[in-house]
Amino acid sequence: MGKHSRLKYYGLAVIACAVAVALGGPVEAQSSCLLLAIMASSLFGGTGPGLLAVGLSTIAFNFLVLPSPLSLSSPSSHYLRFGVFVIAALATSQLVETKKRIEESRRRIEEALSSTQARLSRATQIATVAELAASIAHEVSQPLSAVVANGRACIQWLSAEPADLANAKVAAERIIRDGKAAGEVVQHMRALFKKTALERVALNVNEVIEEVLSLIHSEAVTKQIAVETDLEKRLPSTLGDRVQLQQVIFNLLLNGIEAMGAVADRPKKLIIRSKMQNSDTILVEVQDYGAGVADSDKVFEAFYTTKEKGMGMGLSICRSIVEAHGGHLGISPSQDPGTQGPGTTFFFTLPLGTMNPNE
């Protein structure tokens, strides 16, 4: 704050006191008006102007409120009234100033928080990308290993005496099949990372689910989780952003896998379902048999997390994506008589072929 503006606030304190003196007499509330002047000075000016107002008010109180200004011959009740006023004046200025300081620091914290939030959401994306990269590396290296081994086998069968054409042909066919599989993984990956403006294209939700499953397979195997699918075969197509829906499904599946990390006493099973909720809404469910969720409202809040390393951004991002598609993302406890244990089912709906009118 510049010297000039500081002086302005001292001036404000003087004016406030003058106004209080001028108004106090006619309304017969001199002390209250003086206290109001102190409040105003402390609130806008801070410590210095506040104390100036206290000083001025004290003098005004002495001359205007006390029947006769303080002197050696004044009765002791005057000294008492004067003392009480001084204490009230100081306390008022302190309280107002403390309030002002708390508000300022809260504002600073809020600013810092929102910038941290922005950085974190970026960090979450990067963390997800890193996890994904490890999973994809495995998905690609599996078929590539098979291609190399089949290629060598093919040569061996051909160079045997006599050449074993039947086995060589089988090996060559497998090379083509696995090479295509590796290519598909790369295509899915490219789609997942493609950074384009939001698009609304007609898509089959089952296809999106299958694409994500092909990327997440090794993560599930590593964590020893059986992934089951129950997809409605005759699912009509819907309009949506393929990449964003992949992100939602990817997030929900990854959450399910992580929720079952500590499960030891029951089968680790993750089920993804698609079906028609009614004639114009598609429903996708991801059901796990993990630890369950204690507070089902909080999970969608940003920064709420039950994971040791989580940042609590995933589900809040998912919800905003689903809502931008005109759908709803929700949670319910898993219910399956065949499996003990709590578990959680996340579900989201997508309207059929219509776009959110707000978009």
Partner 1 sequence: MSKDAPIVYVLDDDYRVRESLTSLLSSVGFRVESFASAAEYLKFKKPDSPACLILDLQLPGMSGLDLQREIAGGDAPAIVFVTGHGDVPSSVRAMKAGAIEFLLKPFDDQELLRAIDAAIVQDREARLKRAEMAELQRRYALLTPREREVLPFVVAGLLNKQTAAELGNSEITIQVHRGQIMRKMAASSLADLVKMAGKLGIS
Per CB under 8 A, 218 contacts partner 1: yes
Among 144, 231, 311, 324, binds partner 1 (CB under 8 A): 144
Q: Which stretch binds partner 1 (CB under 8 A): 53-61, 77-85, 138-146, 297-305?
A: 138-146
Q: Which is nearer to partner 1, 20 or 220 (CB)?
A: 220
Query: Considering CB under 8 A, how many residues would be counted as binding partner 1?
Result: 31
Q: Which stretch binds partner 1 (CB under 8 A): 62-70, 100-108, 168-176, 207-215?
A: 168-176
Per CB under 8 A, 157 contacts partner 1: yes
Task: Tally Cβ neighbours within 10 Å of residue 157.
Answer: 18
Q: Which stretch binds partner 1 (CB under 8 A): 32-40, 96-104, 122-130, 217-225?
A: 217-225
Distance CA 349, CA 327 (A): 5
Per CB under 8 A, 222 contacts partner 1: yes
Distance CA 153, CA 143 (A): 15
Per CB under 8 A, 131 contacts partner 1: no
Q: Which stretch binds partner 1 (CB under 8 A): 148-156, 202-210, 311-319, 331-339?
A: 148-156
The least CB distance from residue 334 to partner 1, in Å, is: 21
Per CB under 8 A, 229 contacts partner 1: no
Q: Which is nearer to partner 1, 260 or 321 (CB)?
A: 260
Distance CA 312, CA 223 (A): 21
Among 68, 98, 187, 224, binds partner 1 (CB under 8 A): 224
Instruction: Specify the residue for token string 């020893």.
Output: 224
Distance CA 16, CA 344 (A): 62
The interface mask with partner 1, positions 176-215, x = CB under 8 A, is --x--x----------------------------------
- Dig out the tokens for 256 from the structure: 């399910």
Per CB under 8 A, 23 contacts partner 1: no
Per CB under 8 A, 340 contacts partner 1: no
Tell me: cis bond preceding 162? Omega within 30 of 0 counts. yes
Per CB under 8 A, 138 contacts partner 1: yes
Per CB under 8 A, 156 contacts partner 1: yes
Per CB under 8 A, 243 contacts partner 1: no
Q: Which is nearer to partner 1, 306 or 339 (CB)?
A: 339
Q: Which stretch binds partner 1 (CB under 8 A): 26-34, 42-50, 118-126, 220-228?
A: 220-228
Per CB under 8 A, 145 contacts partner 1: yes
Per CB under 8 A, 171 contacts partner 1: yes
Classify strands 281-288 and 238-240 as parallel, antiparallel or unpaired.
unpaired
The residues that touch partner 1, with contacts defined as CB under 8 A, are 134, 137-138, 141-153, 156-157, 160, 164, 167, 170-171, 174, 178, 181, 218, 221-222, 224, 226
